[in-house]
Amino acid sequence: MTRPAPRQRQRGSKDLWLDAAYEMLISEGIEAVKIMPLAKRLNLTRTGFYWFFKDLAELHAAMIERWQNRNTDALVAQCEKPADSLCAALFHVMDCWLDPALFDGRLDLAIRNWARNDAALLARVTAADSRRIEAVRDLFLRHGFAPEQAQVRALTVMLTQIGYSSMDITEPRAERLARVQHYVELFAGTPPTPEEAAEFLARHAPA
């Protein structure tokens, strides 16, 4: 097995620095995301940072870009997945709230807190929210709802689920899963079939 060169070990990788920056953002806020604290956390040299980022501003830009891709793009993709019924389509959306790879709620809250003191980021968060709501609205439109109803239902979906993050709600995973079919029934106005609910639960069963 080939060992990485000593210089590579001292530098780390771009993803390694980004991951550490995210963890620091989530746990301590954007004010804590500095080069030296990151280097200490990673047990790497400060100069290693500059192999991947010109400065802290470039790291911030990369963090925002990754958030955009991880949360907004993934959620929109879930809304656009083919589905035979409205309930099945909504279960695809609800996958986001159970799978951090599709939507990282802690990261979303941290980005919103950061945006309180950053006007440019606030504009991006506002645009992301609009895109997310539009994607859910279009889902309802495809299943026959009038525009006003589709918009209100989309807002209900997004505000309810984002509330889990903003209110820092924690609950056992099994309890959250059990509630999902009731959320879907509320959003859709009709209950999912047992088969649709079972398919959703199977996707989130322990490996």
Rounded Cα gap, residues 149 and 155, in angstroms: 10
Tens of pLDDT, residues 81-120: 999 999 999 999 999 988 988 998 889 999 999 999 999 9
Which has the higher per-residue pLDDT, 155 or 171?
A: 155
Tens of pLDDT, residues 180-196: 999 999 999 999 999 99
**DSSP letter, residue 30:** G
pTM, 2 dp: 0.86
Kindly tell me the burial class for residue 123, based on how many C-beta atoms sit within 10 Å of its own C-beta (0-12, 13-18, 19 or more).
Answer: exposed
**Structure confidence at residue 9 (pLDDT):** 53
**Structure confidence at residue 7 (pLDDT):** 47
**Structure confidence at residue 162 (pLDDT):** 80
Tens of pLDDT, residues 132-158: 999 999 999 999 999 999 999 999 999
Tens of pLDDT, residues 37-69: 999 999 998 899 999 999 999 999 999 999 998
Q: How confident is the model at residue 176 (pLDDT cuts 50, 70, 90)?
A: confident
Rounded Cα gap, residues 25 and 106, in angstroms: 10
